[in-house]
Amino acid sequence: MLLHILNLIRYKNLLLIVLVQLLIRFALFEPFQVDVRLNMIGYTLLIIATVCIAAAGNIINDIYDIETDTVNKPEKVIVGKSISESIAFNLFILLNIIGVGIGFYLSLSVGKSPFFSIFVIISAALYVYASFLKRTPLIGNIAISILVAMSILIVGVFDLIPAITEGNRATQITFFKILVDYAVFAFLINLVREMIKDIEDVDGDYNAQMNTLPIAIGRERSKIIALVISILPIAVVVYYIVTYLYQQQIAIIYFLIFVLAPLIYTTIKIHLATSKFHFKHISFMYKIIMVFGILSLLLYSFILK
């Protein structure tokens, strides 16, 4: 049962959230003695809250995707097979209560009680995405990609912004901008990946009467749009290298080999893709690129020295 629950909440994706938030704190903030508001207990609670709400979102997504997953990936169907729908829904409710409850406590602890609404909005948005937005062309892809980016920005909202004073404002804003850069990168990577997954899963989505982009305009047109959007993260990384890393040889080498080259490779693969297997490979590659993008946070001791 435990293994089924871990697969249901997509623990590997949750570990990526934990990794990026830990790296932000220990590879970005602490080496430069950036002023933060949360102590270690508070920061741990922020990670737990984020993970709980994300896990709840994964569960409700699987509940609404039973029909499509039965066609697209029957071997991975959990809800209604290994775990009953009622247990899955109760777990969804419990995780949301824990996540939003912790969010309420954190909002009070940093003296920013209105920030509590962020957790409520994200929780509600994940439900709306799973129940409605996922079935709309492109809008659902954009919505879930924004929510992915929020897992990065929420660190700045709760750890940087409440610690701003007149004396450290410039420094705090500089580091918040770094988080925004990473959030934009995560948004773009996830947006293309979600579009690719829609093309990959078009048969099951069609049977479930969903109206994703490939169903609305066709696979080939959707592939062209995904191809065009896939150029955006390449442009962003090139701009970042030229603007900020031109004197940092180690960072340049890392970004060229582990981020830019895979991005270019994946864009070429989108252009050449013709089968479900091809699109599955492309989706996997974007996940790898996301990991390497996250690990680049370890380079900031060189970039900002």
pLDDT tens string 134-171: 888 899 999 999 999 999 999 999 999 999 999 999 99
User: Is the four-CA dihedral 220, 222, 228, 232 of positive or negative sign?
Assistant: negative
Whole-structure pTM over 0.75, yes or no? yes
Q: How confident is the model at residue 305 (pLDDT cuts 50, 70, 90)?
A: low
Residue 75: the pLDDT is 74
Residue 68: the pLDDT is 80
- Following CA atoms 142, 262, 174, 29 in sequence, which dihedral angle do they give, to the nearest 10 degrees? 100
Give me the percent of the chain exceeding a pLDDT of 90: 76
Is the pLDDT score of 76 beyond 90? Answer: no
Is the pLDDT score of 223 beyond 90? Answer: yes
Sequence-distant (≥ 6) Cβ neighbours of residue 14 within 8 angstroms: 51, 54, 55, 58
Distance CA 301, CA 246 (A): 15
Distance CA 105, CA 180 (A): 25
Residue 82: the pLDDT is 82
Residue 110: the pLDDT is 93
Q: How confident is the model at residue 248 (pLDDT cuts 50, 70, 90)?
A: confident
Is the pLDDT score of 74 beyond 80? Answer: no
Q: How confident is the model at residue 300 (pLDDT cuts 50, 70, 90)?
A: confident
More confident residue, 304 or 233: 233
Residue 10 amino acid letter: R
Report, as an integer, the average pLDDT of 104-116. 94
Residue 215: the pLDDT is 92
- The CATH number of the domain holding residue 191 is 1.10.600
More confident residue, 190 or 3: 190
Residue 69: the pLDDT is 73
Alpha-carbon Rg for the chain, nearest whole angstrom, is 20
Residue 117: the pLDDT is 95
- Structural domain total, the chain: 1
Is the pLDDT score of 304 beyond 70? Answer: no
CA distance readout (Å), 41 to 36, 52, 151: 13, 16, 18
Report, as an integer, the average pLDDT of 121-139. 92
Residue-number span of the structural domain to which 287 is assigned: 2-303
Report, as an integer, the average pLDDT of 7-32. 94
- Mean per-residue pLDDT over the chain, rounded: 92
